Structure 1
Amino acid sequence: MFSETVKSKLKRFDVYRKLPHDLTEPTLSGAFVSIIACAFMTLLFLTELAEYLKVNTNTEMFVDINRGGEKLVININLTFPKYPCGLLSLDAQDIMGSHVVDVGGAMKKIRLSPEGKNIQEEDMFKGDHNEGNVQEVKKQIESREGCQLLGHILVNKVPGNFHVSSHAFHNQLHMIIGNDNSKLDFSHIVHHLSFGDNKDIEFIKNHFAEGVLSPLDDLKRIRPDSVRDPLSYEYYIKVVPTTYQTLAGAEYFVHQFTANTNEFSAQGMPAVFFRYDLSPVTVKFTQNQESFFHFVVQVCAIVGGVFTVAGLIDNLLHTSISRILRKRDAGKLG
């Protein structure tokens, strides 16, 4: 295929020149060094492979000025084991002055027996609060029914609060409970509370380890039996807009939050307040993975580096052993 002249010229570029087998000599020290070097290269290769397969997450923070005009989705799953559904209303108020009774969204009221079993479900935002319901509410109180709120609400993306109370019945409250304020027991369990699309939040919890998306889940606030006065509960929530970006480039916009709680004796009508404030800073978590070419470079560096160092060690051992044997043969070791 190539002429002898061309072959001869090509051979000049060979930097991996070969020695004849009869000019090489295997040694016992070289065998030990080779075994140790191969084991070390294998260990380093597996470590680098694990790092290549690992999905890392980068974090950055910036001021978000593009998502201010949207509605904020708040997912709610609360149980009031000692407060009937007929007496509950869910209201929202924000810093802009908007105060809405039975704020918009999709919310179910689930009537619960004293044992916690479902009795009936109804759409909370289609209920009609009037004096015709007073007798029904009295029956629910006498039966010691509880209530679960399950769904989501939409609020303006500005600081505000939403609260569970008996606001819709404030004119008939005395007719319903008389002078026994101890019946206004807002003991509750926060099964779930989050900000953002629930499906996105579940996906993020399964694929990301970063972020605090629902720190209040499974929190209980139960009024002690020794307390007869009605208690109000407040939650102070700091909401941080957060973006999650997967390896495939898909983005999910949700909100992390931290919360502090407080309870106090209610002077008037008790309630459970969730007061939230939004941070102007957005946190972004981005998944990334080491590139294949970087992995190849690292593997080459491992093989070349270990091979070179092992060769130097082998030469040093071989030279030292040869000198010791020569001195022994010459009787100079004493």
Structure 2
Amino acid sequence: MRRVSRKKALSIVKELDAFPKVPESYVEATASGGTVSLIAFTAMALLAFFEFFVYRDTWISYEYEVDKDFSSKLRINIDITVAMRCQFVGADVLDLAETMVASDGLQYEPVEFELSPQQRLWHRMLMLIQNKLREEHSLQDVLFKNVMKGGPTALPPREDSPTQPPNACRIHGHLYVNKVAGNFHITVGKAIPHPRGHAHLAALVSHETYNFSHRIDHLSFGEEIPGILNPLDGTEKVCNDHNQMFQYFITIVPTKLETYKVSADTHQYSVTERERVINHAAGSHGVSGIFMKYDISSLMVRVTEEHMPLWQFLVRLCGIIGGIFSTTGMLHSLVGFCVDCFCCRFKIGVYKPKQVSLLDGHVNSHTTPQSENGFTRGSSLDLHS
């Protein structure tokens, strides 16, 4: 009984065969078919090879959601060089709630404002990359995917020792502020705490020493990630007047970066620049210095690196192979049909009987009909000499 049931099961499975086997004696191999097959197999191999590289590649997707984290602190990473001595300038933050943030995390380092040849070359390269980023926004996706491969964007150290005394002050470090709008500024005199407002000891500094020419080597918000370029990195401004104000209006967007190399909570920002000369007689009021007014967006951007799933790659691969195989087969049949129609239309290759003539005479051949059984009814042959 088991053998009978197995035979029945095998017969049912054979009946369900959707790929019937054709005997080799029924298959005719032609040169044109072999050529088309060779072309089809070559196209399959090339497209499958390129599809594998598409499968290996990744892309960046952006999602927007409301930033629900309003209680944490915002980190500001600063590296700015001002063309004034360190005892004449001071930096601090004043937020929207009139809360003055202590600048204990900042360091004041006397340096030379002019860059060395190697540093100047690095600075030109950085500005070239910034210009390309402004023209081609898709390059930012490349930076996101290769964040850990790039080095830090800070200015490299000098390769030579300066011959002149330091004439500038490098202010670098980080500050933690509240996640509200604020104003980070560098102006004349050291900041002093005041119960009724905000003040700097600027009375002891002469106006002739004012020079707020500056270079922003690095300015970022949130977690500092090597390889990510920010809009103000490499910015250099030179004063034309002693009493000059530089203003940067910054909009900060919280960003959660999730790639195959790094997962971090950072911030992107856009900036608008403005500069003007302080002249009270002409109606241009204000305080000389560098002012960075920032505001935080309520939306958060989630940057995710995605990859093609394996099942989708297999489906695309099957589509490539099956599509090329079917298309080349139909094209081969269509070309063969057209060739057959062309040959039949112009009767190319059709046999035509010819009459035979002799020099000494002629032979007349009379075709005689054959009977149904294949025998000749009658024939005659006339020879004339």
Count of residues in correspondence between the two structures: 286
Match of 1:239 in 2: 252
- CA distance in 2 between partners of 1:202 and 1:145 (Å): 29
Q: CA deviation at 1:280?
A: 1.0
Q: CA deviation at 1:56?
A: 1.4
**Conserved in 2, the CA contact under 8 Å of 1:29 and 1:317?**
no
Going from structure 1 to structure 2, the CA distance change for 1:309 and 1:176 (only over 3 Å counts) comes to: closer
- Structure 2 matches for 1:72-221, cutoff 5 A? 72-80=74-82, 82-100=83-101, 102-104=102-104, 106-113=105-112, 145-168=167-190, 173-177=202-206, 181-198=207-224, 201-202=225-226, 205=228, 214-221=230-237
Match 1:273 to one of 291, 297, 306: 291
**Conserved in 1, the CA contact under 8 Å of 2:40 and 2:325?**
yes
**Conserved in 2, the CA contact under 8 Å of 1:56 and 1:289?**
yes
Match of 1:253 in 2: 265
Going from structure 1 to structure 2, the CA distance change for 1:23 and 1:143 (only over 3 Å counts) comes to: closer
Match 1:306 to one of 321, 324, 335: 324
- CA distance in 2 between partners of 1:263 and 1:319 (Å): 77
Equivalent residue of 2:226, what SS? helix
**Conserved in 1, the CA contact under 8 Å of 2:190 and 2:202?**
no
Equivalent residue of 1:34, what SS? helix
Match of 2:145 in 1: none
Going from structure 1 to structure 2, the CA distance change for 1:33 and 1:113 (only over 3 Å counts) comes to: closer
Going from structure 1 to structure 2, the CA distance change for 1:281 and 1:171 (only over 3 Å counts) comes to: closer
Equivalent residue of 1:25, what SS? coil
Equivalent residue of 2:348, what SS? helix
Under a length normalisation based on structure 1, what TM-score does the superposition of the two structures give?
0.76
Going from structure 1 to structure 2, the CA distance change for 1:19 and 1:315 (only over 3 Å counts) comes to: same
5+ residue gaps in structure 1?
118-141, 206-212
- CA distance in 2 between partners of 1:258 and 1:292 (Å): 38
Does residue 315 (structure 1) correspond to residue 316 (structure 2)? The answer is no
Q: CA deviation at 1:113?
A: 4.2
- CA distance in 2 between partners of 1:27 and 1:316 (Å): 15
Q: CA deviation at 1:165?
A: 1.6
Deviations 1:57-111 (A, max 9, x none): 21121221x211111111111011x3011122111111112124x435x222111
5+ residue gaps in structure 2?
117-163, 192-198, 281-285, 353-385
Q: CA deviation at 1:47?
A: 3.2
CA RMSD of aligned residues (A): 2.8
Counterpart code for 2:108: K
Does residue 33 (structure 1) correspond to residue 36 (structure 2)? The answer is yes
**Conserved in 2, the CA contact under 8 Å of 1:182 and 1:230?**
no
Does residue 12 (structure 1) correspond to residue 15 (structure 2)? The answer is yes
Match of 1:130 in 2: none
- CA distance in 2 between partners of 1:310 and 1:254 (Å): 53
- CA distance in 2 between partners of 1:239 and 1:221 (Å): 22
Under a length normalisation based on structure 2, what TM-score does the superposition of the two structures give?
0.67
Deviations 1:188-226 (A, max 9, x none): 00011111111xx226x3xxxxxxx510111111113xx
Does residue 329 (structure 1) correspond to residue 349 (structure 2)? The answer is yes
Match of 2:47 in 1: 44
Deviations 1:104-139 (A, max 9, x none): 5x222111246669xxxxxxxxxxxxxxxxxxxxxx
